[in-house]
Amino acid sequence: MVLGLSTMELKVWVDGIQRVVCGVSEQTTCQEVVIALAQAIGQTGRFVLVQRLKEKERQLLPQECPVGAQATCGQFANDVQFVLRRTGPSLAGKPSSDSCPPPERCPVHTSLLPKP
């Protein structure tokens, strides 16, 4: 059976708010996710996507695919959190929060899909 390229949602914590990036596939790179989120929040600067699992964090490379990185965690894949972390100057001057708020915060949606 041949499966088409399916898209999904990727949840990423940005400045203490959980954001949902729509249109993510297994081929979507971290760089694409970072650009979509930076545009959605209207901020410039340098950002990295961090994969957090329990007490361990790993900075993902721009060409890595977050869906694939999550899948490598096996049975713990559902426990993976992604965090957008600012690493360089931005115009907003507001520091990025590295702590995750409680899950009851309302997620904000961003899409990688082209707008009609």
Q: What is the pLDDT of residues 47-92, one digit of tens each?
A: 999 999 988 999 999 999 999 999 888 898 889 999 999 988 754 5
Contacts of 87 (CB under 8 A, 6+ apart): 45, 46, 47, 48
Phi-psi region at 28: left, alpha or beta (left = phi > 0; alpha = psi -120 to 50):
beta
The answer, yes or no, to whether residue 110 has pLDDT greater than 70, is no
Domains of the chain, start order: 8-86 (3.10.20.90)
Element (H, E) at 33: helix 30-41
**How far apart (Å, rounded) are the C-alpha atoms in residues 55 and 93?**
28
Q: In which band, very low, low, confident or very high, does the pLDDT at 109 lie, cut at 50, 70 and 90?
A: low
**How far apart (Å, rounded) are the C-alpha atoms in residues 65 and 99?**
23
The answer, yes or no, to whether residue 99 has pLDDT greater than 60, is no
Across the beta sheet with 8-14, what order do the strands follow? 56-59, 47-53, 81-86, 8-14, 17-24, 108-111
